[in-house]
Amino acid sequence: MTPIPIHDPADPRIADYRDIRERDLTRRDGRFVAEGEVVLNVLTSAASLCRPISALIDLRRLEGLTPVLARLGPDVPVYAASQDVLDGVAGFHLHRGILALGQKPLPVDADRTLASLDAGSTLVVACGIGNHDNMGGIIRSAAAFGAAAVILDDRCCDPFYRKAIRVSVGAALRTPILTLGSAEQNVVRLLAEGIDVVAMTPTATESLDQARRRGATAIVLGSEGPGLPTDVIARCRAVGIPMSGGFDSLNVATAGAIALHHFTRATET
């Protein structure tokens, strides 16, 4: 790995990194920008489902990143620049000093994924999650508790947006993610597969601490504020997390983590 020096923020070789805060690179040619050492480590690991395209690194970080960068293939250029040049490229102060460009994975085969589930499998189903921090947190928890996949509806934000990837600590790059139809269509499809579909909602009468597994389980999470649509909840097994002090809901990523911890350890009925 021989770093390629970059002295000008306008260098066309690093054009894809320019003004990343304002540009939605995630929707162009299936590429995404990853930021930080933890995410770069995942992107270059054997567990990654994504292909690295290039890296842009602060000169001062190169030596410490040698083992990680050595995992990149000979066809993946590593560009090196000073902090001033990096800031000029990114359009803001890039204090981590580490960027990488990656290619999104090929679409996950939904039929094959659902057919491969067994009684111990757990899915996460996100409905209308528009906040990238929450998306990243949900995917991080899904990876931490061994979810087989994360299913998104057609109203969710892009899980490969730079901030979502960063908040997920790279889990978005190694977790099977499927974007299917509407929330209701996704629930109907899972029910048809014989999966126990659990809607996390404060309106539920069944308490999470009393809930038991009923085979393969899908945990359905809605956006903060409006939550899950009532017609979606009506099709599911509604489960709630008991709370104190007058609170009636949690951050969706937090609620998802609690539900995942419970259902990945719950005893079957």
Phi, psi for residue 234 in degrees, rounded to 5 = -65, -25
Core vs surface per residue 55-79: b (16+ CB within 10 A) or e: bbbbbebbeebeebbebbeeebbbb
Position 180 confidence tier, pLDDT thresholds 50, 70, 90: very high
Domains and their CATH numbers in the chain = 4-103 (3.30.1330.30), 110-263 (3.40.1280.10)
Given a cut of 90, whether residue 142 has pLDDT beyond it is yes
Q: Extract the tokens encoding 96.
A: 């981590």
**For residues 163, 33, 21 and 5, what is the CA-based torsion angle, rounded to 10 degrees?**
130
**Residue 238 burial (CB count, 10 A):** 19
What is the distance between the alpha carbons of residues 235 and 230, in angstroms, rounded to a whole number?
9
Position 50 confidence tier, pLDDT thresholds 50, 70, 90: very high
CA angle centred on 141, ends 137 and 147, rounded to 5°: 135
Residue whose pair of structure tokens reads 């679409």 in the numeric block: 107
Q: What is the pLDDT of residue 39?
A: 97
Per-residue pLDDT reduced to its tens digit, 185-231: 999 999 999 999 999 999 899 999 999 999 999 999 999 878 899 99
Q: What is the pLDDT of residue 24?
A: 60
Q: Extract the tokens encoding 177.
A: 């993610």
Per-residue pLDDT reduced to its tens digit, 81-116: 999 999 998 888 887 899 999 999 999 999 999 999
Q: What is the pLDDT of residue 19?
A: 79
In this structure, what DSSP letter does residue 259 have? H
Query: Which residues are CB-contacts of 267 (< 8 A; sequence separation ≥ 6)?
Result: 212, 213
Given a cut of 90, whether residue 255 has pLDDT beyond it is yes
